[in-house]
Amino acid sequence: MSFSDEAVPAEEVTPESERVAGAGACAPSTEEPAEAEVIEEAERDPLVVLAGERDEYLRALQRTQADFENYRKRIARLQEEQSARAASALVMKLLPVIDTLDLAQAHQSEASAQSDDAVALTAARSLLLDVLSKEGLERVDQAAVPFDPSMHDAVARTEGDGGEEVIDQILRSGYRWRGQVLRPAMVSVRG
pLDDT tens readout for residues 6-47: 554 555 555 544 544 444 444 445 455 555 565 565 567 888
Selected residue with higher pLDDT from 119 and 10:
119
Three-class SS state of 35: helix
Q: Is position 155 within any domain?
A: yes
User: What is the per-residue pLDDT for 46?
Assistant: 87
Provide the percentage of residues in the chain whose pLDDT is more than 90. 34
Determine the straight-line distance between the first and last CA of the chain, rounded to whole angstroms.
113
Q: What's the CATH code of the domain at 177?
A: 2.30.22.10
Predicted confidence (pLDDT) per residue in 42-97, tens digit: 567 888 899 999 999 999 999 999 999 999 999 999 999 999 899 999 999 999 99
For residue 99, tell me if it sits in a domain: no
Assess if residue 175 is contained within a domain: yes
Residue 53 within any structural domain of the chain: no
In this prediction, residue 17 carries a pLDDT of 47
Mean pLDDT of the chain: 80
176 domain residue, yes or no: yes
Supply the pLDDT for residue 35: 56
SS3 of 167, please? strand
Number of independent structural domains in the chain: 1
Q: What is the mean pLDDT of residues 88-117?
A: 85
User: How far is residue 66's CA from residue 164's CA, in Å, rounded to a whole number?
Assistant: 55
User: Does any domain span residue 62?
Assistant: no
Q: How confident is the model at residue 175 (pLDDT cuts 50, 70, 90)?
A: very high
User: Is residue 142 situated within a structural domain?
Assistant: yes
Residue 39 lies in a domain: no
Average pLDDT over residues 162-173: 84
Separation between Cα atoms, residue 185 and residue 191, nearest integer Å: 18
Q: Which residues contact 24 (CB under 8 A, 6 or more apart)?
A: none
Which range marks the domain in which residue 172 is found? 137-191
